[in-house]
């Protein structure tokens, strides 16, 4: 059908005809409802009864509408008007890339700018599991403002789920509308030979576009479509830099890698391709890109000897590079896998898979693996592996993406040597969700084989015996850990529900009991609920985990912490921490809590040393950084304590415990005005946490503001009356600041009833100076076995 200018089509007013393609006619139209121009793609009337065309037409709308990216055309709606199907999409005022290249290669700066934008758009589609399959210059628009837009997702498909789902192209000339599945000249070898395609097929097509943008010539330009197809399959194009000597070597390498015949020789993720192009555009030069070997005809016997000799030399060089000159990979960070799933509540997957790999890879010999709390700070961010490696002080970084669609998982993992900016390994995995446990085991085994190739067969990562084989239980466990990591009261309660759900699905799931322990401990330690309610439940869960599997290091650490803060049983806590570090010396929280025991027992040098070991394993952990400052504070090394507090606040200025600790240090230094400002910030950030209010009241009283301190006591009363848990120790701190030692001691003695988490620090916290000579205070310390 043909639409006349000024006519109405559904809610749209036709402005002009833009063009015709295999998938329909395109018009510029006006949407009076929103007062904007749109592009209308209309399925021609003679094709409306063609079922395949209609499916492809609707597929384009679904594929593009699932994406939201500035370099992908925006779909507004799909509909039917007058019995005709249409897609309303963003109107792009500009030119196609084909038009822009009509007079030769693009100027380099302009070319790299557009290349980065196209790669970013492709990376977004690929992360969502969408493969374009018909990327070519005519399907890229450039606006008058210079923004590239990928369009025409009519051939787009979700990435195949298994090797049985191949894509069968019908190959004809580009100019024959309605029959092309992919375009000759830009089609990948695997697409041309009816093999399954994934995101790397689009990389090949993009490489052909880059070649043309850089040289002004098509990479596989032959007289006929058949000869073009044969060239794609059998021949390497002339190196771009030979066609255009002005092309930088780095761009030459990028194009060559994209045009590799074997998909395995292209980029492991399109995100990495976009990253290389961004470095090129910014003028940053790093290590050369590894180029795939050219595909040549069958070598002669002499050629084979040469190749084998070269491989032996290269293998020996690689061995000595990683074992000597380059140094063995001795430290690793597993970053949260990027989750790009349409499934609701799927964010837990990326963090959960990373946590599992951290746990498994920590068992490799002579490998320091960064703990989960440091790497969790990168969740939801676009992370440069080299930058993350510098911040975490590691040699290698493992990154990945995970896409869940229904009961299917698509996981891509990549290992990078950050020191040499070298890609070490990468692989894509496709499995059913029910196979997620074996999938993680396979990934950890593959990574360990790269990190420790000579030991991989007999020293593979130790399987977690506290784990489960029930996929639904594991799913609930991952969701529990995801919420527990947020450390809020609401999330801790949600975590408890998920851990209990996991236990119901697998009553012998030790890790789920340990998670339940951690969630209850969080509620008790932060004073969200009375410790007498939280800690016994946490203790029961930890003991059940150990009963099921005595080798769960995390459960021993959790039990040690409970004995420390609630049981006040120092010898049992010491035994549990020792067992923790025997099972897993790389478990940072175990060392962190062990340091707490040293502090409480007055062994400050050992506490500081153990905290520093924990920090090496978890350098970006806010709580470990903050508590290293607390170790110095307890040791009366106040300048060191202040320095560490400020370092923690550089990581996150909105972390309430760091504000609280800095305020405590400033009080000990006599800087009361500055201290009050820190406590007030902690109170505001924590939604009036009673613990921080107590310290604020103490500082006000010390500064001579007794009415302000008494106002804090009244506020604590109101909070308690409103249902908030308020420890007697929170009131005692204010009363001590007011010099009301009798009431302060009454409150401290009353605190034995609910056993608040700060009781064990009575002997060492400077805030209690002045009371320590009092016989009643000494009796309290004796009861705690701290005297």
Q: Among 90, 117, 134, identify where a domain stops.
A: 90
Local confidence band at 429 (pLDDT 50, 70, 90 cut-offs) = confident
Taking a C-beta distance cutoff of 8 angstroms, is the pair 415, 396 a contact? Answer: yes
Closest CA to 37 of 57, 12, 18, 17: 12
3-state SS assignment for residue 25: strand
Based on the domain organization, do 149 and 82 belong to the same domain?
A: no
| Weakest-pLDDT range from 95-99, 573-577, 779-783 | 95-99
pLDDT confidence bin for 765, thresholds 50/70/90: very high
Phi, psi dihedrals of residue 18, rounded to the nearest 5°: -95, -45
Range of the domain at 758: 471-783
Q: Name the percent of the chain lying above pLDDT 70.
A: 83
Q: Judge whether residue 560 has pLDDT over 90.
A: yes
* Whether residue 414 is found in the same domain as residue 498: no
Tell whether 308 is covered by a domain: no
612 Cβ contact list (under 8 Å, min separation 6): 628
Q: Is the pLDDT of residue 321 over 50?
A: no
Region 756-773 average pLDDT: 93
In a domain, 462, yes or no: no
The pLDDT of residue 307 is above 50: no
725-738 pLDDT tens trace: 999 999 999 999 99
- Assess whether pLDDT exceeds 60 at residue 619: yes
Mean pLDDT computed over every residue of the chain? 82
Position 153 scores a pLDDT of 67
DSSP string for residues in 470-516: -HHHHHHHHHHHHHHTT--HHHHHHHHHHHHHHHHH-TT-HHHHHHH
Q: Are residues 440 and 496 in the same domain?
A: no
Q: Give the pLDDT band (50/70/90) at residue 666.
A: very high
What is the 3-class SS of 590-654, one letter each residue? HHHHHHHHHHHCCCHHHHHHHHHHHHHHCCCCHHHHHHHHHHHHHCCCHHHHHHHHHHHHHHCCC
Same domain, 662 and 532: yes
pLDDT at 717 over 80: yes
170 and 33 co-located in one domain: no
pLDDT: which is higher, 780 or 441: 780
Q: Confirm whether 315 is domain-assigned.
A: no
Categorize the per-residue pLDDT at 20 as very low, low, confident or very high, splitting at 50, 70 and 90.
low
- Total domain count for the chain? 4
Say yes or no to pLDDT of 407 above 60: yes
Q: State the CATH number of the domain containing residue 124.
A: 1.10.510.10
* Phi/psi of residue 470, nearest 5 degrees: -95, 110
Please state, in angstroms and rounded to a whole number, the distance separating the CA atoms of residues 45 and 9.
Answer: 14
What is the pLDDT confidence band of residue 406, given thresholds at 50, 70 and 90? confident
| pLDDT value at residue 627 | 94
| Backbone phi and psi for residue 544, each to the nearest 5 degrees, phi listed first | -65, -40
- Rounded Cα gap, residues 771 and 779, in angstroms: 12
Span of 259-263, 444-448, 515-519 with lowest mean pLDDT: 444-448
Write out pLDDT tens, residues 365-377: 788 888 877 787 7
Instruction: Looking at the structure, tell me whether residues 209 and 125 fall in a common domain.
Output: yes
Angle between helices 588-600 and 622-634 (to 10 degrees): 20
Percentage of residues in the chain having pLDDT higher than 90: 41
Active site residue 134: yes
Q: Is residue 421 part of a domain?
A: yes
| Cβ atoms of residues 553 and 590 within 8 Å | yes
With 0-12 CB in 10 A as exposed, 13-18 as middle and 19+ as buried, what is 608? buried
**CB-neighbour burial class of residue 196 (10 A; exposed 0-12, middle 13-18, buried 19+):** middle
Residue 317 has pLDDT above 50, yes or no: no
End residue of a domain, out of 60, 90, 120: 90
| Burial readout 275-293 (b: 16 or more C-beta within 10 A, e: otherwise) | bbbbbbbeeeeeeebeeee
The reported pLDDT for the residue numbered 185 is 86
Tell me the two tokens of residue 401: 């993406």
- Which of 40, 60, 90 is at the close of a domain? 90
Is 222 inside a domain boundary? yes
Work out the average pLDDT over 745-772: 94
- pLDDT (0 to 100) of residue 450: 78
Residue 7, pLDDT above cutoff 50: yes
8 A C-beta contact, residue 258 and residue 267 = yes
d(CA 423, CA 171): 35
400: CATH: 3.40.50.10610
Verify that 57 and 154 share a domain, yes or no: no
User: What's the pLDDT tens digit per position in 119-134?
Assistant: 999 988 888 778 888 8
**Domain match, 549 and 638 both:** yes
Dist CA 680 CA 684 (whole Å): 6
| Nearest to 379, CA basis, from 523, 481, 269, 525 | 481
The catalytic position among 35, 46, 99, 134 is 134
In DSSP terms, 81 is beta-bridged to 84
- The pLDDT of residue 50 is above 70: no
2 in a structural domain: no
296 falls within a domain: no
Q: Is the pLDDT of residue 54 over 50?
A: yes
Q: Are 64 and 23 in contact (CB under 8 A)?
A: no
Q: Across the chain, how many H-helices and E-strands are there?
A: 31, 17
Residue 361 contacts residue 334 (beta carbons within 8 Å)? yes
pLDDT, position 283:
67
Q: Are residues 184 and 170 in the same domain?
A: yes
Does residue 445 share a domain with residue 567?
no
| Whether residue 240 has pLDDT greater than 90 | yes
- Please state the length of the chain: 787
- Could you report the per-residue pLDDT of 542-554, keeping only the tens digit for each? 999 999 999 889 8
Whether residues 257 and 384 share a domain: the answer is no
Lowest mean pLDDT among 52-61, 128-137, 139-148: 52-61
pLDDT of residue 3: 81
pLDDT at 239: 92
Helix axes 553-562, 531-548, angle to 10 degrees: 150
pLDDT at position 580, please? 94
Those residues whose C-beta lies under 8 Å from the C-beta of residue 582, and which sit 6 or more positions away, are none
Least confident of 293-302, 397-406, 439-448: 293-302
Q: What's the token pair of residue 7?
A: 């006519």
Residue 316 included in any domain? no
> CATH no. for residue 727?
1.25.40.10
Both tokens assigned to 750 = 């009353």
The alpha carbons of the chain give a radius of gyration, in whole angstroms, of: 32
Helix residue ranges, H only, 38-105: 51-65, 97-100
Q: Note whether 81 and 102 are same-domain residues.
A: no
Token reading at 659: 């504000």
Sign for the CA dihedral angle at 177, 179, 182, 184 comes to negative
Question: CB count, 10 Å around CB of 127?
Answer: 23
The pLDDT assigned to 346 comes to 59
């Amino acid at each position: 059908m043909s639409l006349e200018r000024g006519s109405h089509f559904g809610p749209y007013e036709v402005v002009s005809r833009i063009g015709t393609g295999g998938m329909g006619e395109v018009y510029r139209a006006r949407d009076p409802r929103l007062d904007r121009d749109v592009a209308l793609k209309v399925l021609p009337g003679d094709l409306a009864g063609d079922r395949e065309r209609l499916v492809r037409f609707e597929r384009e709308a679904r594929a593009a509408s699932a994406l939201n990216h500035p370099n992908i055309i925006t779909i507004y709606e799909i509909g039917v008007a007058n019995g005709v199907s249409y897609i309303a999409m963003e109107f792009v005022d500009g030119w196609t890339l084909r038009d822009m290249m009509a007079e030769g290669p693009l100027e380099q700066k302009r070319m790299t700018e557009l290349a980065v934008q196209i790669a970013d758009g492709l990376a977004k589609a690929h992360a969502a599991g969408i493969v374009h399959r018909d990327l070519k210059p005519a399907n890229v628009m450039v606006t008058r403002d210079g923004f590239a837009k990928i369009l025409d997702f009519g051939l787009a498909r979700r990435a195949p789920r298994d090797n049985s789902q191949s894509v069968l192209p019908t190959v004809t000339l580009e100019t024959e509308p309605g029959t092309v599945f992919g375009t000759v000249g830009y089609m990948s070898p695997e697409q041309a030979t009816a093999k399954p395609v994934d995101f790397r097929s689009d990389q090949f097509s993009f490489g052909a576009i880059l070649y043309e943008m850089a040289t002004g010539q098509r990479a596989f330009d032959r007289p006929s479509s058949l000869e073009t197809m044969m060239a794609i399959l059998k021949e390497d194009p002339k190196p771009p830099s030979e066609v255009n000597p002005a092309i930088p070597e780095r761009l030459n390498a990028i194009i060559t890698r994209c045009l590799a015949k074997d998909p395995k020789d292209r980029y492991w993720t399109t995100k990495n391709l976009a990253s290389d192009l961004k470095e090129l555009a910014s003028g940053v030069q790093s290590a050369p890109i590894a180029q795939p070997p050219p595909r040549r005809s069958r070598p002669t016997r002499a050629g084979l000897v040469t190749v084998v000799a070269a491989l032996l030399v290269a293998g020996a060089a690689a061995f000595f590079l990683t074992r000597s000159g380059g140094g063995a990979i001795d430290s690793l960070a597993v970053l949260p896998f990027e989750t790009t799933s349409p499934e609701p509540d799927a964010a837990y997957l990326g963090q959960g898979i990373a946590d599992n790999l951290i746990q498994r890879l920590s068992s490799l010999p002579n490998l320091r693996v960064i703990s989960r709390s440091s790497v969790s700070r990168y969740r939801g961010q676009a992370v440069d592996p080299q930058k993350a490696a510098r911040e975490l002080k590691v040699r290698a970084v493992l990154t990945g993406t995970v896409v869940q669609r229904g009961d299917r998982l698509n996981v891509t993992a990549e290992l990078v040597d950050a020191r040499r900016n070298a890609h070490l390994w990468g692989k894509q995995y496709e499995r059913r969700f029910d196979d997620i446990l074996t999938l993680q085991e396979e990934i950890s085994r593959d990574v360990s084989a790269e990190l420790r190739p000579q030991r991989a067969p007999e020293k593979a990562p130790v399987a977690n015996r506290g784990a489960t084989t029930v996929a639904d239980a594991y799913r609930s466990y991952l969701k529990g850990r995801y919420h527990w990591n947020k450390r809020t009261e609401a999330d801790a309660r949600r975590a408890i529900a998920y851990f209990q759900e996991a236990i119901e699905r697998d009553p012998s799931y030790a890790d789920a009991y340990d998670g339940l322990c951690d969630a209850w401990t969080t509620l008790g330690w932060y004073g969200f609920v009375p410790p007498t309610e939280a800690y016994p439940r946490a203790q029961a869960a930890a003991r059940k985990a150990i009963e099921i599997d005595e080798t769960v290091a995390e459960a021993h650490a959790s039990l040690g912490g409970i004995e420390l803060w609630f049981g006040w049983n120092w010898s049992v806590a010491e035994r549990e921490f020792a067992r923790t570090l025997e099972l897993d010396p790389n478990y940072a929280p175990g060392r962190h809590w062990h340091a707490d025991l040293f502090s409480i027992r007055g062994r400050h040098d050992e506490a500081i040393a153990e905290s520093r070991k924990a920090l090496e394993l978890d350098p970006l952990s806010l709580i470990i950084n903050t508590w290293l400052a607390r170790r110095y504070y307890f040791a009366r090394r106040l300048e060191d304590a202040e320095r560490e507090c400020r370092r923690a606040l550089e990581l996150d200025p909105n972390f309430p415990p760091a504000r609280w600790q800095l305020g405590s240090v400033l009080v000990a230094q006599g800087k009361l005005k500055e201290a009050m400002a820190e406590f007030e910030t902690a109170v505001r950030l924590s939604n009036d946490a009673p613990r921080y209010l107590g310290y604020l009241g103490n500082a006000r009283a010390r500064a001579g503001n007794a009415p302000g301190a008494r106002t804090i006591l009244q506020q604590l009363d109101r909070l308690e009356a409103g249902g908030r848990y308020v420890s007697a120790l929170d009131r005692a701190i204010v009363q001590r600041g007011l010099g009301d030692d009798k009431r302060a001691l009454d409150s401290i003695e009353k605190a034995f009833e609910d056993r608040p988490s700060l009781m064990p620090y009575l002997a060492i916290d400077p805030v209690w100076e002045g009371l320590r000579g009092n016989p009643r205070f000494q009796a309290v310390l004796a009861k705690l076995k701290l005297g």
